[in-house]
Amino acid sequence: MSKSILITGCSSGLGYDAAHGLAKRGWRVFATCRKEADCARLRDEGLESFVLDYADSASIDAALAEVLARTGGTLEALYNNGAFALPGAVEDLPRAGLREIYETNLFGVHELTCKVIPVMRAQGHGRIINCSSVLGLVPMRWRGAYSSTKFALEGLTDTLRIEMRDTPLHIITIAPGPITSDIRKNSIPPFERFVDWQSSARRAQYEESLMGRLYESRGPDRFELPASAVTAKLIHALESARPKPRYFVTTPTYLMAAARRLLPTRVLDWLIAKG
């Protein structure tokens, strides 16, 4: 029988590529999305897909129950990939916006992980892979909401990895940098709903910087890699006999990880602000 994996956030980008890539390698993939329409599309493409919304505990319970019903109560791997971004200056982020992004990017990930752990304990093995970001290592202007959720995810994952050393479970972090995806496009609705940029003291900076980047397609970022680059690291994390605790993807992620260790804070701030 093929090994099974539950993947979140499979409607596009990293999750979509991972779901198809692992299915081709013989994994039994449960590719979940927040919206049923996306799940239906994935089912048409030959994947097993159903709804899992991190912001809804009932949805998490139902999705995991569906997985276990289909496998007879086992699950070899969980890939916590689903997330979204809320652009804006930190001083313009309302509490409601931060609450919403944390419900998906952190609290839902944590809840699903805690419910999967007993399944893996009972079967005596399992791998939990959390998708972080270069923005979980260093911050960037306009990305405070997303960056803070990934910083928190890094801390939670690192602690879990240490605590699970006395179990047969592997806890792994993947930290991509610039990857081809729909995250910019998908961040527009949250931005429009939560950020009153026209009333901001930084309105001119929004107009000069963020608005063009957010609403205009400017082609790939420098050093941008396709989603398949992340899938390649995911495959190693899942199939290696000795997986690494952390995988970096893209040149900027390696550079920023080194810079955070080596540079004084003021120098690192200057480097990041320079872009």
Catalytic site positions? 146
At 121, the amino acid letter reads: R
Of the CA atoms within 13 Å of residue 231, those in its CB half-sphere come to 19
Nearest to 29, CA basis, from 7, 44, 45: 7
